[in-house]
């Protein structure tokens, strides 16, 4: 009996020692047996410090420093890549709704750039005309590639297409890390032109072109 009580006592003590103070807050620093580099001599920002001649811990960047990135100019405003802006996300700021229209002006040069990028990045699967009959489909590497002339995809807004290019969809990977933001919008513009080429009528042509056709 005596041994039983002693064993029980040791057991209770063990449980209390191991689990007894879990969840308690302590103002003491935890004991660090291997502190590694958790504590080190460093300058805190915006404080006085004698290390630099001017006595500030924070220093201006050296002269000639080049900014890590240039902002995009969209609608006369500078937009940085970290901003929650329609040009970066394809969505209205602070919402999940896709924007209707391409934020860049659609010019001939812009579409030519879109064509070049589309033929590099999209044509291997979707084909140069967007029908989903690229080389990966032909050799059987991809079973089902979306036909970009499907009514459902034609009805996408520009923002939604940009979103698919950036984030991918199903087995299609996202291209945000490979294609720069303006190029993704150029592809979006070019894809719209491809879709329109199937849907347009003779009446959409300029008069002189229409005359040539007839």
Binding site residues, ligand HEC, CB under 6 A: 121-122, 124-126, 136, 142, 144-146, 148, 153, 161, 164-165, 169-172, 175, 187, 191
Q: Quick one: 59 or 173, whose CB is closer to ligand HEC?
A: 173
* Alpha-helix runs per DSSP H in the chain: 2-19, 86-89, 108-121, 123-126, 135-138, 151-154, 158-167, 181-199, 207-213
Q: Quick one: 144 or 213, whose CB is closer to ligand HEC?
A: 144
Q: Quick one: 180 or 205, whose CB is closer to ligand HEC?
A: 180
Least Å distance, CB 173 to ligand HEC, is 7
What is the spatial distance between Cα 161 and Cα 148, in angstroms, rounded to a whole number? 10
Least Å distance, CB 94 to ligand HEC, is 23
Q: Quick one: 71 or 168, whose CB is closer to ligand HEC?
A: 168
- Closest residue by beta carbon to ligand HEC: 170
Least Å distance, CB 198 to ligand HEC, is 15
Of 138, 87, 118, give the one whose Cα is nearest residue 194. 118
Q: Are 100 and 170 in contact (CB under 8 A)?
A: no
Q: Quick one: 77 or 117, whose CB is closer to ligand HEC?
A: 117
Residue whose entry in the numeric block shows the structure tokens 């064509």: 115
Least Å distance, CB 186 to ligand HEC, is 10
Least Å distance, CB 66 to ligand HEC, is 30
> In three state form, how does the secondary structure of 130-192 look?
CCCCCHHHHCCCCCCCCCCCCHHHHCCCHHHHHHHHHHEECCEECCCCCCCHHHHHHHHHHHH
């Amino acid at each position: 009996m005596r041994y039983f009580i002693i064993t029980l006592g040791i057991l209770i003590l063990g449980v209390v020692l191991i689990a007894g103070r879990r969840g308690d807050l302590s103002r003491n620093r935890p004991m660090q047996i291997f502190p590694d580099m958790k504590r080190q001599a460093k300058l805190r920002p915006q404080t006085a410090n004698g290390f630099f001649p001017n006595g500030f811990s924070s220093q201006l960047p050296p002269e000639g420093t080049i900014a890590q990135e240039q902002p995009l100019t969209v609608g006369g405003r500078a937009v940085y890549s970290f901003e929650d802006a329609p040009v970066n996300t394809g969505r209205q700021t602070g919402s999940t709704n896709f924007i209707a229209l391409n934020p860049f002006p659609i010019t001939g040069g812009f579409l030519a750039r879109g064509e070049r990028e589309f033929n590099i990045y999209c044509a291997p699967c979707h084909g140069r005309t967007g029908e989903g009959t690229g080389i990966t489909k032909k050799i059987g590497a991809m079973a089902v590639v979306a036909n970009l002339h499907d009514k459902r995809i034609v009805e996408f807004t520009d923002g939604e297409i940009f979103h698919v290019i950036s984030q991918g969809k199903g087995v299609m990977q996202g291209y945000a890390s490979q294609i720069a933001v303006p190029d993704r919008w150029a592809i979006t513009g070019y894809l719209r032109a491809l879709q329109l080429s199937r849907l347009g009528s003779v009446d959409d042509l300029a008069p002189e072109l229409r005359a040539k056709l007839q």
